[in-house]
Amino acid sequence: MITIPETDLVVHPLCLGSNIFGSNADEAQSHAVMNAYFDQGGNFIDTADMYNQWVDGHVGGESETIIGSWMASRGNRESMVIATKVSKMDRRPGLSAKNIFAACEESLDRLQSDYIDLYYSHEDDLNVSLEETLGAYAQLIAQGKVRYIAASNFTPARLRESIKFSEDNNLPAYVAVQDLYNLVNRTEYEGEMSQAVAELGLSNIPFYGIARGFLSGKYRPGVTDVDSLRAQGALEHATDKNFAILAAMDGIAKAHNASLSAIALAWLRAQPTVSAPIASARTVAQLNEIIQVVDLTNEEVDLLTTIS
């Protein structure tokens, strides 16, 4: 278990993503995955109010509802660390105080919980003052409805501005970011954003830790018929350079008797500003591939860093 910097949240090194709960995975499949995760010591689940409004007939909140029903059935809310998000749901856009208060209540209802452990601004809202947004979070924290706040999809400059505003005005500050980062998506995070996160003493809880499944190793040159509902997204990474990354991972995975997914997540954990990477699973078999925690040698980390 690890402690997320700037918090007292003690979590499993794998944050279980739930964007597919209610879409690629129905309720029964989702409950089975969460059962397997929890039974192997997992306690950290990431969701958002907007999950999964992109599915025909859905309006958002489906993932939260499934997580809520699962926690109710297990009676384990106090054992879990739940992260959810506000600002990107079609019916609840933006970071106005009014919207944050309403969205929070709706998320709590769906999660069947009195509190949210980590509440993200899912994206920035330049139309609302920092005073209003952070003031709203301050009220929710004072009421015990939210424990910590975090930021997703912010620019480095805006993250710094937000943190400084919090410090100058004695308001709750973002304790973490959630940004895209993995072995085949490095340029967007590395550089100004990772530098800001390091200097502010925060951490990244990166999404798409295995690049929509590409880094599981199921996708190889000439392979186009993988049994996955995320195949199209994964195949966006099908380049010679990225296939070379998989080839390097093959040897490392064999040395550790581990899945390629576990190696991809281990490389992320070895990065100084990463705490717990996020990955999702549609089946228990997929969950077992991502939950293994591997400690890479410095040489293995360097090899993957160089190749990628």
Active site residues: 51
- How many Å apart are CA 3 and CA 15, to the nearest integer? 12
Q: Is 166 left (phi over 0), alpha (psi -120 to 50) or beta?
A: alpha
Q: Give backbone dihedrals phi and psi of 283, rounded to 5 degrees, phi first.
A: -130, 165
Residue type, 308: S
Q: How many CB atoms lie within 10 A of CB 78?
A: 7
- How many Å apart are CA 16 and CA 247, to the nearest integer? 26
Q: Half-sphere exposure of residue 93, counting CA atoms within 13 Å on the CB side?
A: 6
User: Both tokens of residue 190?
Assistant: 């590395």
